[in-house]
């Protein structure tokens, strides 16, 4: 189960949001939201009419103007409050992160090798610092020397420390985390103000939040609708004069405010900020709102097998000799091939060899050198002092290696490898020089519930592809057990990029997870790249999201959050536009009933008077914004289903509901106004 970051909101967050709502009344701020800026202009006009009733020629009802002014002011305030509340929650999260960020002392290694104690703010890219047990890591960087246990709870919330070591995919460290044991040397990779923590704080505060393409497109639509209704309301006055009907300016302003999409206009920014906030609460840092939004439109998810679909703790279960090799010789060769292999797989091979009776002297190889695993060769091993080369790795890679040495391939190699692969295991071939001695049977286990999760994605219309370095038989078995839609076996880094590009060429959006430097190109190519916090700096820089918990399966939740964001925006837009239908039936008949009695036929709600109809619609228009704030902040409840079903459900709930609710609410407000003799 993935864990969300819970940040306690300050008790005075609502008071701060209210203060901020008043500050946002500044026209320079309001202009960023054209819909609400039009409402503010209307507020100023009716305010002037309240103070100077005859300002624009002719007498007007100052009390009526004053009531309209008050309602418009409250409408603007509610819209500003919604945005301020969303921003306030982000600032509360940022405050908790700022507690982690502090100016610490760093022990910098000078050019002459001496140690200088400096402030962390003086560190620059390329500097080397020494961090001992109990000390805070002063800046983001990569370990260049040593192995240490690091407490990352300040960033991830997880109390269990993690092992970090020089080289490999677990060498990156984050400033503000604490070394629990041992000593390490770290090369600083960021300048002051550019650290991962700095970027997190800036993002959750919303200070640098840019509008997403969909948000910009919707904003353009809202501005267009607003402009259309401004023109409509401006032309109503001469039309009314033509039929000898006088329409007060305050009524025209009220009509305009009710016609333009004020509900979604007031909540649009809050929806975007809250969407980023929900991702952050899930312990995922999105580098942009665009990344969150793109995750909601994902068509294909590319997942690594090891550690994502399976537990990734492949352990040696059996040594299987091939050809003329004996079990005893294979046991020794398997052990020697893994002497320098510090991975869990390598350690499990050594443990199995010991259990099978391999003598301790076989593990003493003076003058030998280890050969690290490389994605290009897909092999690792040991070079002995006498020139013998021992290798273990993928079966086809070992076959090519042995062939290059002039050796032959045992006839039963493929059969036994297929047997292991069919059982869902991973076969590793073991060779010394030009001879293949046998296979190592590595077992891995599919995580429970993965089939159900992939079925959930399938209902969402998302295709899942598993990438693995395993041979096709093993890959097919794991893919079948896990329930993915497709798989790519014996995958190299360039294969992942090619797969992503092929999907994108078909017009699809692609998401993938990764943690290694070799994943960086593919993470950068993907529309949504989720890097693990435990991974390399290169992977985190290339991705547009970072998972602080380093849980590769969280991409599934990220997609759900993205879809929820799009659903929330779509649902409230539908509700807002549907609201206008009911408001038309309230205000338009009220405007013309006195001059054109036949217009009363459109007063299907039976509203008492023209003034009560206008005020009821205007009051509803104001109070619906705060009522919808919790929905905008929390998001519409998401259930996996096809786009067609989703659209149908939203049209029924938020389309028909958006029409029905105002009819009922406006009538009830009218009854209250009449009952209190306010009109």
Tell which phi-psi region holds residue 137, choosing left (phi > 0), alpha (psi between -120 and 50) or beta.
Answer: beta
Is 354 a known ligand-binding residue?
Answer: no
Tokens, residue 110? 């000078």
Is 376 a known ligand-binding residue?
Answer: yes
Q: Would you say the C-alpha torsion 257, 262, 266, 269 has a positive or negative sign? A: negative
Q: How far apart are the first and last CA of the chain?
A: 57
Is 377 a known ligand-binding residue?
Answer: yes
Tokens, residue 231? 């023109």
The 8-class DSSP code of residue 360 comes to: G
Is 304 part of the annotated catalytic residue set? Answer: yes
Distances (CA, A) of 101 to 120, 139, 149, 162, 375: 11, 10, 20, 20, 37
Is 152 a known ligand-binding residue?
Answer: no
Is 310 a known ligand-binding residue?
Answer: no
* Neighbour order of strands in the sheet with 315-321: 315-321, 435-443, 426-432, 389-394, 379-383, 369-371
Tokens, residue 662? 């105002």
Tell me the backbone φ, ψ of residue 137, rounded to 5 degrees. -75, 120
Is 519 a known ligand-binding residue?
Answer: yes
Q: Which of 537, 563, 534 is nearest to 646 (CA)?
A: 563
Is 380 a known ligand-binding residue?
Answer: yes
Is 476 a known ligand-binding residue?
Answer: no
Is 185 a known ligand-binding residue?
Answer: no
The strand pair at 510-514 and 300-304 is best described as parallel
Tokens, residue 368? 């030998």
| Dihedral in degrees, nearest 10, Cα atoms 587, 591, 593, 598 | -70
With a CB cutoff of 8 Å and minimum separation 6, the contacts of 353 are: 319, 331, 332, 334, 335, 338, 362
The one catalytic residue among 127, 140, 198, 304: 304
Tell me the backbone φ, ψ of residue 187, rounded to 5 degrees. -90, 120
Is 341 a known ligand-binding residue?
Answer: yes
Tokens, residue 93? 């999260």
With a CB cutoff of 8 Å and minimum separation 6, the contacts of 215 are: 268, 272, 289, 293, 569
Report the alpha-carbon distance of residue 63 to residue 84 in Å, rounded.
Answer: 31
Tell which phi-psi region holds residue 126, choosing left (phi > 0), alpha (psi between -120 and 50) or beta.
Answer: left
Is 345 a known ligand-binding residue?
Answer: yes
Catalytic residue positions, numbered: 304
Mark the binding-site residues for Mg(2+), compressed into ranges: 515, 519
Mark the binding-site residues, compressed into ranges: 341, 345, 373-380, 392, 515, 519
Mark the binding-site residues for ATP, compressed into ranges: 341, 345, 373-380, 392
């Amino acid at each position: 189960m993935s864990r969300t970051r819970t940040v306690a909101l300050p008790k005075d967050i609502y008071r701060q949001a209210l203060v901020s709502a008043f500050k946002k009344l500044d026209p320079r701020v309001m202009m960023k939201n054209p819909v609400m800026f039009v409402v503010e202009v209307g507020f100023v006009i009716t305010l002037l009419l309240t103070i100077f009733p005859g300002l624009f020629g002719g007498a007007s009802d100052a009390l009526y103007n004053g009531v309209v002014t008050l309602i418009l002011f409250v409408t603007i305030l509610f819209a500003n409050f919604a945005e301020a509340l969303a921003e306030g929650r982000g600032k509360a999260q940022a405050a908790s992160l700022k507690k982690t960020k502090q100016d610490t002392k760093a022990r910098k290694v000078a050019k002459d090798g001496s140690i200088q104690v400096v402030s962390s703010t003086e560190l620059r890219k390329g500097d080397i610092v020494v961090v001992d047990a109990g000390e805070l890591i002063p800046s983001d960087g990569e370990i260049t020397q040593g192995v240490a246990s690091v407490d990352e709870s300040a960033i991830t919330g997880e109390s269990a420390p993690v092992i970090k070591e020089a080289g490999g995919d677990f060498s990156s460290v984050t400033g503000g985390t604490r070394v629990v044991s041992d000593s390490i040397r770290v090369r600083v990779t960021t300048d002051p103000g550019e650290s991962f923590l700095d970027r997190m704080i800036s993002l959750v505060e919303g200070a640098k939040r840019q509008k997403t393409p969909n948000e910009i497109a919707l904003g353009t639509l809202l501005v267009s609708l607003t402009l259309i209704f401004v023109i409509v309301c401006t032309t109503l006055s001469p039309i009314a004069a033509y039929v000898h009907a006088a329409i007060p300016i305050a009524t025209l302003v009220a009509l305009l405010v009710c016609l333009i999409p004020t509900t979604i206009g007031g909540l649009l920014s809050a929806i975007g900020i809250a969407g980023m906030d929900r991702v952050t609460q899930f312990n995922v840092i999105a580098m942009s709102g665009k990344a969150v939004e793109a995750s909601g439109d994902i068509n294909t998810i590319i997942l690594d097998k090891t550690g994502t679909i399976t537990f990734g703790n492949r352990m040696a279960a059996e040594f299987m000799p091939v050809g003329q090799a004996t079990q005893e010789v294979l046991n020794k060769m398997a052990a020697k091939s893994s002497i320098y292999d510090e991975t869990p797989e390598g350690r499990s091979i050594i443990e199995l060899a010991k259990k099978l009776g391999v003598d301790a002297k076989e593990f003493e190889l003076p003058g030998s050198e280890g050969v690290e695993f490389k994605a290009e060769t897909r092999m690792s091993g040991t070079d002995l002092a006498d020139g013998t080369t021992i290798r273990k790795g993928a079966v086809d890679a070992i076959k090519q290696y042995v062939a290059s040495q002039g050796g032959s391939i045992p006839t039963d190699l493929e059969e036994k490898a297929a047997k292991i692969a069919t059982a869902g295991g991973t076969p590793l071939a073991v060779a010394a020089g030009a001879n293949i001695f046998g296979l190592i049977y590595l077992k891995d286990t599919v995580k429970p519930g993965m089939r159900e999760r992939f079925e959930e994605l399938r209902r969402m219309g998302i295709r899942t592809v598993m990438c693995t370095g395993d041979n096709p038989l093993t890959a097919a078995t794991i893919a079948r057990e896990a329930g993915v839609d497709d798989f790519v076996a014996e995958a190299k880094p360039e294969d992942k990029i090619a797969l992503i590009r092929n999907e994108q060429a078909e017009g699809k959006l692609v998401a993938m997870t990764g943690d290694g430097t070799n994943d960086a190109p593919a993470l950068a190519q993907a529309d949504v790249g989720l890097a693990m916090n435990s991974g390399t700096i290169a992977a985190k820089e290339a991705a547009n999201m970072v998972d602080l918990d380093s849980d590769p399966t969280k991409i599934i939740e990220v997609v759900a959050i993205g879809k929820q964001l799009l659903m929330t925006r779509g649902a409230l837009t539908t509700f807002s536009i549907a609201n206008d239908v009911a408001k038309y039936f309230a205000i338009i008949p009220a405007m013309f009933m006195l001059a054109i009695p036949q217009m009363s036929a459109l007063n299907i709600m039976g509203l008492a008077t023209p003034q009560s109809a206008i005020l009821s619609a205007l009051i509803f228009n104001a109070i619906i914004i705060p009522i919808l704030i919790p929905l905008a902040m929390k998001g519409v409840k998401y259930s996996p289903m096809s786009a067609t079903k989703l659209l149908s459900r939203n049209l029924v709930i938020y389309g028909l509901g958006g029409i029905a609710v105002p009819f009922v609410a406006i009538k009830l407000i009218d009854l209250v106004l009449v009952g209190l003799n306010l009109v």
